[in-house]
Structures are given as C-alpha cells and as structure tokens.
Amino acid sequence: MLLEAISAGKDLGRAHEIASILVRCGFGGVVRRLGLGHALEQAGKKLHWKYAEETAVLESHQRARHALEELGPTFVKLGQVLATRVDLFPPEWIAEFELLQDAAPPVDFEELRAQLEEDLGSPPEEIFAEFDTEPLAAASIAQVHRARLRDGAEVIVKIRRPGIKRVVEADLRLMKRLAQIATRENPETQRFCPDEVVHQFSLALRRELDLAHECRNAVRVAESLAEREHVVIPKVYWQWTSERVNVQEYIDGIPGRDMAAFEAAGLDRRLIANRGASAILRMVLVDGFFHADPHPGNIFFLRDNRIALIDFGMIGHLTEERRFQVIELLHGMVERDTSRVCEVLLEWSNNTRAPSERLVADICAFLDQYHGLSLGQVNFPVMVRDMMAMLRENHLVLPSDLSMMFKVFLTLEGFCRQLNPDFDLIAEARPFVRHAMIMRYTPGEVAKRGWHGLSGMIDLLTGLPKDLRRLLRAARHGALRVHIDIEELEHFGERLDSAASRLTIGMITAAFIIGTSIMMSVTGDTEYLAMSILAGFGFSLATLGGVWVLLSIWRGRH
C-alpha cells in the first residue's frame, strides 16, 4: 500500500496530488496498483477533472507527457532523462518525451533579490554596471538575467529559484517510494529498472541544483576543446559563482532553433555541421566526458561560422573500456561476428546468464541487415533503433551512460542532417574510431593493461591462502552459510502466506458467527440484553472479516 510506504507525513499531500494527476490523465490503473484504490478514478470522472475526457482519445505516451507536465518541474526533468533511454522506450515514447520543455513562469526579481545579495555579497547594482531585472529565460530550476560588468563584459547571471531544492527533494523521496512500490506490485516493471533509473536521476538532478557544478563541467569541456577555436564555451566568472548563482559570458549568437535567422546570416551549413559533430564526437569517443543534452536550444551559431555550446548541467561519462566496447560492437556488426556482438550486449546489460536461443537468433537477423556493408554504408540512426528494439524485445537494459551516449548520437545526427542533408555520422566518427583503436594497441597501453592484469593475478594468488583459512575457520565454527535465492520459490511463499492469512481470517469469521449464534440463544431479560449487544458486535466483526476475505480473493485474481 502506498500509504504504508510514506514515512514522512509532510509528503502525504504531494502523494495525493500525484495520484490525482495520474487519474486525471487516464492512469487510474497505475493508481490502483500503487494502492490508492478505485475511489480517486471515479471521483475524477464525476468531477470532470482536467484531462479526464480529453486524454481518453490520446495514446498512452501522449497521456504520459501530459501527466509529467502537470506533475511539475522535477517530473519534467525526469521525462527529459527518460528521453535518453532509447533502450527502454519505443520511438513514439521517446519523441513524446522530447516535447517536454524545461520552461516555467519567471519569478519576480524582488523575490530573488535577498538570496542574490547573500550569494554575491553585495547588491547587484554595486557589482554590475547594468543589470536587467527582466529575465532572459526561465526554467524550472533557475532563471537567467542579462548584465554587464564594470569592465564592459556582457554576462548572464543564472539564479536558482528560492525554495526549489526543498521541492525537488520531496519529489525525489516520493519517486523513490513509487519506484519501490511499482516494482513490488507489478514485477513486469522490474525490466525497466525503476529503482536504478530513479537513483541515477536523483544523482543527476542534485548535481544540476548546484550551479557551480555546471560551471565546473563547462571549464572541463573548454579545456578538452581548447585546440578547436571554432567551438566556443562560455567563460565562467568564479568570483561570483556559487551553489545558487553563477555568472558566465553572454553568447551573442543565433539560437539553434532559429533556422530562418541562420539562413539570413548566410552561414555555411556543411562547415558548421562538421564542426559541431567533430566537437561532440571528440568529447564522447576521446575524452569520455560529454555534453549529454546537445539539443538546438543549447547550441548557438556565431557570425564567423563558429558554434557555441551552453548549459552543461547534464553531462555524460564514458570509461575507456566503454568506448572500446562501442568500437568492438561496430566492428562486430560489420564483420558479422555474432558471438562478439552478443558478448558486448550481454556485458552492457549486466546479464550473467548464457545467451538464449532467441537472443542469438535475433542478433543473427540483426547482423544480416548489415552483412557486406562498410562502416560508411551503415545508416547509424536506423541501426541504433533496430538494436534498441532488439534489446527491448529480449528484456535487456543498457547502463545509463551508454543509453545517454546513443541518445546524443541520434540527436547529433538529426541536427546535423537538418543543416546538411548529406551528413554521414559514421564517416565523421571514423577518424576518432581509428585513433581510439591505435591508442588501444600502442605498446605503452598494451603493457599497462598487461601489468594491471598481472598485478591482479598476483594479488589473487597471494591472498588465496588467507581466504582459504578464513573459509575453513568459518566452517569449523559453524559460521559458514550458503544463501540460495530462488525467485519462483519466494513468489510461491508469498502466495502461500496470503492463502494462509485468508484461511485464518475465514476460520475466525466462522467462529464469530457460531459463537454469536450460541449467544443469541440465551434466555432471560438481563442476560438477553447483554448477549444481544455482544452478538451484534460479533456479527459486525464477522461481516468485516467476510468482506476482507472476499476483497482479498478478488484482488488476488486481478
């Protein structure tokens, strides 16, 4: 039951609000599974709540977007993260999640002034030569104001919304509980890893609440792209940057969404597409530290065919091993090496079982589509979508870092094709793949990996006697335990416990009925009145017990 899972009474009102919104958006079944019952859904229909009738004609993915929008900024952010999980959701769901915009009504500057003065150490009028109190943009976590420093530099001041951290933390607590309940009430949701998704989302959102962390990300990306003068990363003014405010260079350019202004400026489409792709591919395949949300709203075109990247709140990380696995996967596909592709996919999904016959057959069918093709002939977006569909059908889930990487590639490919219809992501990636392969097998790298493997083996062998002594000591003292986890047996135990509970309540109910019947047979004025009262109370308890048993049986069948 949801009410049992809520340990903090202060979150109860928000939980009721979430349930109401889900009902209004047509997810009454989800609410029932979460334990809030049928009453809210019926009330929503009778009271004609917003979306109660409108959403009846919408598809599930459309209703899900409506629900996330109405649930507020934390859930809109969740939807944006889910838009990166191309391994969990089909294309129509991803497309719907991508429509979620992180926009919010602006906060009046006077409500921000006290917090801003505290963070800056002085009133903004004393620090900036000019400060525009009208926001340039407003999002769920922060809003941006334009300003000018005393030395004439144009900057933006990003200010976190007052009280937003408290709201986000409350929503994250509820998300965690809802994920646990969803997994418990509906085992089918386990393949979506709701606990892991919420955990990763919580970490990312808490980092995004720290505006100084965003600036640290920007500085790291700027250092990795320092040799690429055609890519601009805003300068950070650290003397006025903290957890709740940051000050960055103002980018005077054409927003990535404004293609009309792009055309009017006469910029070189092909050149800008290649420069943008080169920057992103270097971040992903060489540095392993990349902008995880390179949509048109975070890209600006500058007048001299340069591009600028902003908003580094969402960042992806890829280890060297992960990057090499991506390269292995591409080569395995082109070489039609089923075992290599299968091994990489299973390792990504953290699946320790042997590959099923269906998975092997699906991989063979998947590879047949690319048999005989060179890397340059592979349609990357189609390949990724086919691979993700195969993973979903076989209940395999990618780690969040890889799903984010594939999403970045798909976004990059779509955006660059909008600029240059002949854009080929594989061709652009080929130099980076070749460089990664060369670096992987340089004598120094081979020697380093060999030394790590050898030192690990030596540590294992030298520690083996100690581990054996501990094992034998535990066995002698009777402290050795063997844990066998059988999911089917656990489920059977739960069903058996439920049946025993019903049987017990049924027997108690029958005992009440028999006992009260005997009590009703007592004669005598005084005794009859007392016994009648007790009998009525007993019959009431018997009725409640009977209703509980019937409801329990009915819920078990559903």
Task: Give 70-87 pLDDT, tens digit per residue.
Answer: 887 788 888 877 887 777
Average pLDDT over residues 170-198: 76
C-alpha pair distances (Å), 117 with each of 120, 133, 148, 154, 293: 5, 14, 17, 20, 31
Tell which phi-psi region holds residue 288, choosing left (phi > 0), alpha (psi between -120 and 50) or beta: left
Question: Hey, what are 269's tokens?
Answer: 């489409």
pLDDT at 9: 52
User: Looking at the predicted structure, is the pLDDT value of residue 160 above 90?
Assistant: yes
CB-CB neighbours of 335 under 10 Å: 13
pLDDT at 44: 45
Q: Within a 13 Å sphere around the CA of 134, how many CA atoms are in the beta-carbon half? A: 0
Average pLDDT over residues 184-189: 68
pLDDT at 444: 75
Residue holding tokens 């005084």? 526
pLDDT at 448: 73
Helices (H), 186-302: 194-209, 211-224, 259-265, 269-281
Stretch among 182-196, 276-290, 382-396 having the lowest mean pLDDT: 182-196
Residue holding tokens 């061709």? 427
261 contact partners, CB below 8 Å, separation of at least 6:
254, 255
By CB atoms closer than 10 A (0-12, 13-18, 19+), residue 331 is middle
User: Looking at the predicted structure, is the pLDDT value of residue 158 above 60?
Assistant: yes
pLDDT tier at 62, thresholds 50, 70, 90: confident
Q: Rounded to whole angstroms, how far apart are CA atoms 10 and 235?
A: 41
Contact between 384 and 410 under an 8 Å Cβ cutoff? The reply is: yes
Stretch among 113-127, 399-413, 533-547 having the lowest mean pLDDT: 533-547
Give me the chain's average pLDDT, please. Answer: 78
Q: Between 338 and 45, where is the model more confident?
A: 338
Q: Between 483 and 538, where is the model more confident?
A: 538
Tell which phi-psi region holds residue 121, choosing left (phi > 0), alpha (psi between -120 and 50) or beta: left
pLDDT tier at 171, thresholds 50, 70, 90: confident
User: Looking at the predicted structure, is the pLDDT value of residue 1 above 50?
Assistant: no
User: Looking at the predicted structure, is the pLDDT value of residue 49 above 50?
Assistant: no
User: Looking at the predicted structure, is the pLDDT value of residue 329 above 50?
Assistant: yes
Three-class DSSP category at 147: strand
User: Looking at the predicted structure, is the pLDDT value of residue 545 above 80?
Assistant: no
Average pLDDT over residues 325-344: 76
pLDDT at 307: 93
Residue holding tokens 């919408």? 58
pLDDT tier at 513, thresholds 50, 70, 90: confident
Question: Hey, what are 501's tokens?
Answer: 């509970």
User: Looking at the predicted structure, is the pLDDT value of residue 355 above 70?
Assistant: no
**Range with the largest mean pLDDT of 193-207, 240-254, 388-402:** 240-254
Using alpha carbons only, give the angle 91, 50, 31 rounded to the nearest 5 degrees.
Answer: 65
As a whole-number percent, the residues of the chain with pLDDT over 70 amount to 78
Task: Quickly list DSSP for 375-387.
Answer: GGG--HHHHHHHH
b/e per residue, 46-64, with b = 16+ CB within 10 A? eeebebbeebeeeeebbbb
pLDDT at 408: 87
Residue 148 β-bridge partners: 130, 154
Quick: pLDDT tens for 445-503.
677 767 777 777 787 778 778 878 887 877 777 776 776 656 555 566 667 767 777 77
Average pLDDT over residues 202-227: 91
pLDDT at 354: 59
Average pLDDT over residues 313-317: 86
pLDDT at 392: 79
**CA nearest to 243, candidates 107, 120, 103:** 120
Q: Give the β-pairing of 128-131 and 142-149.
A: antiparallel
Stretch among 41-55, 252-266, 278-292, 456-470 having the lowest mean pLDDT: 41-55
Q: Between 434 and 114, where is the model more confident?
A: 114
By CB atoms closer than 10 A (0-12, 13-18, 19+), residue 300 is buried
**CA nearest to 398, candidates 388, 408, 411, 412:** 388
3-state helix/strand/coil string of 227-250: CCCCEECCCECHHHCCCCEEEEEC
Helices (H), 282-356: 320-334, 338-348
pLDDT at 300: 93
User: Looking at the predicted structure, is the pLDDT value of residue 271 above 90?
Assistant: yes
The catalytically annotated residue of 87, 102, 119, 293 is 293
pLDDT at 8: 46
CB-CB neighbours of 482 under 10 Å: 4
User: Looking at the predicted structure, is the pLDDT value of residue 10 above 70?
Assistant: no
**CA nearest to 50, candidates 33, 74, 31, 69:** 69
pLDDT at 467: 78
> DSSP state, 283?
I
pLDDT tier at 45, thresholds 50, 70, 90: very low
pLDDT tier at 39, thresholds 50, 70, 90: very low
User: Looking at the predicted structure, is the pLDDT value of residue 278 above 80?
Assistant: yes
Contact between 88 and 402 under an 8 Å Cβ cutoff? The reply is: no
- Could you confirm whether 293 is annotated as catalytic? yes
pLDDT tier at 51, thresholds 50, 70, 90: very low
pLDDT tier at 47, thresholds 50, 70, 90: very low
Task: Quickly list DSSP for 506-555.
Answer: HHHHHHHHHHHHHHHT--SHHHHHHHHHHHHHHHHHHHHHHHHHHHHHHH
Measure CA 458 to chain center: 40
